[in-house]
Structure 1
Amino acid sequence: MVTLGSGHEERNMRWADSRRRYNAGYGLKGVDDLHAVIAFFEERRGRGHGFRFKDWADFKSCAPRGTPAATDQVLGEGDDGTTEFKLVKTYGAGLAPWVRTISKPVSGTVVVALDGVAQGSGWSVDETTGLVTFETAPDEGVAVSAGFEFDVPVRFDTDRIEVVLPHFEHGEIPSIPLVEIRP
């Protein structure tokens, strides 16, 4: 965003979607916890490999304290031919709703509905891509919806971890920066 001399603003969005950042360093104090984080960090080679992360402020198709329902998020509409639908979460409903693609649903949490009726069978979900596949394409005009929990694909946003050890049995890692990976 650039503010002009007249006070008007010019906006240029470089990204169509947001990219979330997290700091997972808070609360680690025990030496065993520090060891586990260091081992996890080293196994991923710092920024080298991604992993799943639960964003406790946004990890469901509904509000964080709610229970996912099969009608939470609209995935699309049947057309008698399409059998695959991506899991998505829509934010906002007014001026410019944003649709976020969900690629890492949590195992066993996805529920699906056709025209508001929960479907106990006849579909499957790929837990590595978020793709819902129906055995038979939903009929023309049938609303396809789903409810679910999800993780965020992230990677470490650093190649080094700073460990502070003021005492032998206690320490901390003040900052563990994570950044969302685009699928």
Structure 2
Amino acid sequence: MSFHEVSLPARLAFGSTGGVERRTEVVTLANGYERRSTPWAHGRRRFLIGAGLRSLADMQALTAFFEARRGRLYGFRFRDFADFRSGAGDPEPGDQVIGDGDGAQTEFQLCKGYGDYERVIRKPVEGSVRIAVDGVELAGEAFGVDLTTGEVTLATAPGEGAVLTAGFLFDTPVRFDADRIDVTLESFEAGRVAAVPLIEIRI
């Protein structure tokens, strides 16, 4: 996977729009009933950025970031300000259940629940992850986190039936979904950018 572990500067995302996309195939039967199915197990997020930029400095920064990613070629981290935390506020170690102990397993995947749907989190933010076993928070040296995959490794395997929970901040892995950026110069130090599309990528 061609991915750069860099984040789009937050100021370049101000004014962005976006949300979750699902793909559902609907067939209407002769009797009027519907048959619905989906080829996607997971939703995919899309965003439009750049439309709120007005300063030439920010436009140049966005262009430089776009060039460094070679347009659509390389993925990168994006902070979706509508959904970037494990809970409603600052991360707490009990926010999300990420596994149950069996006395042997030491590796667990970060994830976030949305009702009965579970989203795998691949890009946690450095220094934000907190882990607890049966409600008791672990010290930093008791676990490690792979920031490129979201995998948590414990120094000691949790006992049989122990509940492992986590709190964290996270980014969404995306790429540009266009191979050009259009900039309009409106004055000596100001202009505007046509909205630039981003799309979530599977990792």
TM-score (ref. length: structure 2): 0.84
Show structure 1 runs of 5+ residues with no match: none
- Residue identity in the other structure for 1:123: F
Give the CA deviation at 1:5.
Answer: 4.7
- Report the structure, 1 or 2, having the larger strand content: 2
Aligned to 1:85: 108
| Aligned pairs, number | 177
The answer to whether residue 194 in structure 2 is matched with residue 169 in structure 1 is no
What is the distance in 2 between the residues matched to 1:169 and 1:14? 48
SS at match of 1:41: helix
Structure 2 contact 128–168 (Cα < 8 Å) conserved: yes
What is the distance in 1 between the residues matched to 2:91 and 2:118? 17
Aligned to 2:59: 34
TM-score (ref. length: structure 1): 0.93
CA offsets 1:148-176 (integer angstroms, 9 cap, x no match): 00000100001111112232321111211
SS at match of 1:166: strand
4+ long deviations beyond 6 Å: none
The answer to whether residue 89 in structure 2 is matched with residue 70 in structure 1 is no
What is the distance in 1 between the residues matched to 2:51 and 2:36? 34
The correspondence for 1:58, drawn from 75, 83, 87, is 83
Aligned to 1:49: 74
Moved more, 29-38 or 2-11: 2-11
Percentage identity across paired residues of the two chains:
54
CA offsets 1:112-139 (integer angstroms, 9 cap, x no match): 0000111113111111110000111111
- Residue identity in the other structure for 1:59: F
Show structure 2 runs of 5+ residues with no match: 1-25
Aligned to 2:125: 106
SS at match of 1:42: helix
Aligned to 1:12: 37
